[in-house]
Amino acid sequence: MTGPSEIKVIKKRPELKDLDSGRVREEGKELLQTLIRGLVDHPDSIIVTYSFGDKTTVYKVECDQKCLGQIIGAKGKNINGVRAVISATLARKGVRAIVEIPYYCVDA
C-alpha cells in the first residue's frame, strides 16, 4: 500500500424547483392544519399561514387561547410530535420546516 486512500462522500439533496416548492409548502400547510385540528375541541379556530426563504419555511399557527393547552400538550409533547412529523415529511422533499405557535417559546 502506498498511502491512505480517501473516501469521497457525496451528499445529494433533492433540488426543489420553483414549481414544486409552492406545492410542497402547501402540502405541508394542509398536513399541519389537519394534525392540529385533530388535537383541539374547536378546529374552526385554527389558521395556519407560512412565510418562506430559500429552503426554510416558517409555519405560524393561530388559534384561540383556550385551544393552546391542547395543542401544546403535557410538557410540550403534542407540539413536539407535530413538529417532528412536519419536519421529517418536508425534509424528504428538501425543505426545512419550523412550526411556531402563539404564546409558546421553544427552549433552545
Q: Burial of 58 by CB count in 10 Å (0-12 exposed, 13-18 middle, 19+ buried)?
A: middle
Domains and CATH numbers, the chain: 18-100 (3.30.300.20)
0.85 surpassed by pTM: no
Handedness of CA 85, 89, 91, 97 (dihedral sign): negative
Q: What is the pLDDT of residue 19?
A: 47
Q: What is the pLDDT of residue 20?
A: 74
pLDDT tens per residue, range 34-90: 999 999 998 998 999 999 887 789 999 998 888 899 999 999 999 999 999 999 999
